[in-house]
Amino acid sequence: MDANATSNFSSLLLLLLLSLLSTASTSMHGFIDDPLIQQVVSSSDGRDDLLMSAEHQFSEFKKEYGKSYPTQEEEDYRFGVFISNLRLARRNQILDPSAVHGVTKFSDLTPSEFRRQYLGSGRQMQLPKDIIISKAPILSTDDVPNTLNWTNMGAVTSVKDQGICNSCWAFSTIAVLEGAHFKANNELLELSAQQLIDCSTDTCDSTDEKKGSKKCNKGCKGGYREVAFKYIKDYAGGVMKADDYSSAEKDNKKCFKKSDNDERSVASVKEYSKIEANVDQYASYLYHHGPLAVKTDLEYDQTYKGGPICHHKKHPGNVAHAVTLVGYDESHWIVKNSYGENWGDRGYFTVCKNVLTNDGTWDPDAIYADAVAKNKKIDF
């Protein structure tokens, strides 16, 4: 980058930083203790000090999350994006003061890049016509406890990281089956989300095609929990352990079918249905059947660091991110994500129950599943 370009770029960054500081006093108190959010030294009025402070924060961000860039031009661009995301975090903190927002592993991505890489295709996807899922019956809520956390009860495996593969649908489906299998068989297994990503692409009816493109699961380009459950129950007959599937993948073995009677399958779905978006029914199904697969469109993922999300801010466009409901307390839902343990609250987030409405904040229907019992069922 030549001297003039460098000077222009520095001036642009300074303007952005000055704009950021103009309202910082009204919003920084919520997360000022985070060293990555301390963007400037309050006693400094110099522009050079201002720029140096921002560069220091960016340097700390790169160290913490192992970030590197192929060229100086790319690094300069990501620095500008980083500064813009500090402003985004500040705005989100004002809108959602009960949670903590700040610098995250996604702070060098533009919002559009983040949506495209982590939240879904952003295009309209229609559920295949042959994928019909029944509605779950209404359960009694008389015996439902005030608090529940399947993570503490041994029914939830470690948080996974989907990376830039748009496969949240697979991780949510697998987490539900892991919990259902635990309830039915008293054993916790790490099941293969990768099997669903690779093998559930041809589950939909071949007659349900349009312009040469099947409207079913598309691997890392998006998919449906409904199709994934159908694949497990009706097509494959089960799912392999994560480690076993990785080994089979190295041997270039094909995706197995139910008719193959493949002994590598260790967990299967007995039944699955959709639950209406009702707070009491969600709690009852969580208690009686285990974790639930739900979708969210909350626009806080990129800056979220912890605490309960209690304000609904919908993502622009057609975004639906699949996650797993694993528990609740009197006021909040406990949700497992698939962004890795270095996001949010060790990979989880909490959301106020009053945000769970049918206004687009959550999928109108959650999905529960029961697993095939192979051993003695555990009682809770």
Q: Which residues are catalytic?
A: 168, 321, 337
Tell me, letter by letter, the H, E, C secondary structure of the chain.
CCHHHHHHHHHHHHHHHHHHHHCHHHCHHHCCCCCCCCCCCCCCCCHHHHHHHHHHHHHHHHHHHCCCCCCHHHHHHHHHHHHHHHHHHHHHHHHCCCCEECCCCCCCCCHHHHHHHHHCCECCCCCCCCCCCCECCCCCCCCCCCCEECCCCCCCCCCCECCCCECHHHHHHHHHHHHHHHHHHCCCCCECHHHHHHHHHHCCCCCCEECCEECCCCCCECCCHHHHHHHHHHHHCCEEEHHHHHHHHHCCCCCCCHHHCCCCEEECEEEEEEEECCHHHHHHHHHHHCCEEEEECECCCCCEEECEECCCCECCCECCEEEEEEEECCCEEEEECCECCCCCECCEEEEEHHHCCCCCCECCEEEEEEECCCCCCCCC
